[in-house]
Amino acid sequence: MLIRIDDHTLVDDLCAHYRRSGFRAESVGGGMIEVAHPEATNATEEQHTLLMHLRVWKVANSDVSVEAL
């Protein structure tokens, strides 16, 4: 899943947040992050888990605009 973040200085922080939970996360440029959950059993589970973790990160970074694409 691609995630767009408006504050490019927080890209590494968001990637680290996902990696701590066992996700693959990497910057793909332009404030975009590619995130995958290799342990998900299907696409629906992966999407749900990715979005849940994004919401958790957003609580600590409420002034940042992020969008899952």
- Considering its fold, how many domains does the chain have in total? 1
At 14, the pLDDT band (50, 70, 90 cuts) reads very high
Q: Give the pLDDT confidence score for residue 60 in this predicted structure.
A: 94
> pTM value?
0.91
At 30, the pLDDT band (50, 70, 90 cuts) reads very high
Domain containing 63 equals 2-68
Longest dimension (CA), the chain: 33
**Which residue has tokens 């996700």?**
23
Q: Give the pLDDT confidence score for residue 29 in this predicted structure.
A: 94
Give me the helix-helix angle, 11-20 and 43-60, nearest 10°: 120
Distance CA 26, CA 12 (A): 8
pLDDT, average across residues 8-26: 97
Helices (H), ranges, the chain? 11-20, 43-60
Q: Give the pLDDT confidence score for residue 57 in this predicted structure.
A: 97
**Which residue has tokens 């749900």?**
48
Q: Give the pLDDT confidence score for residue 58 in this predicted structure.
A: 96
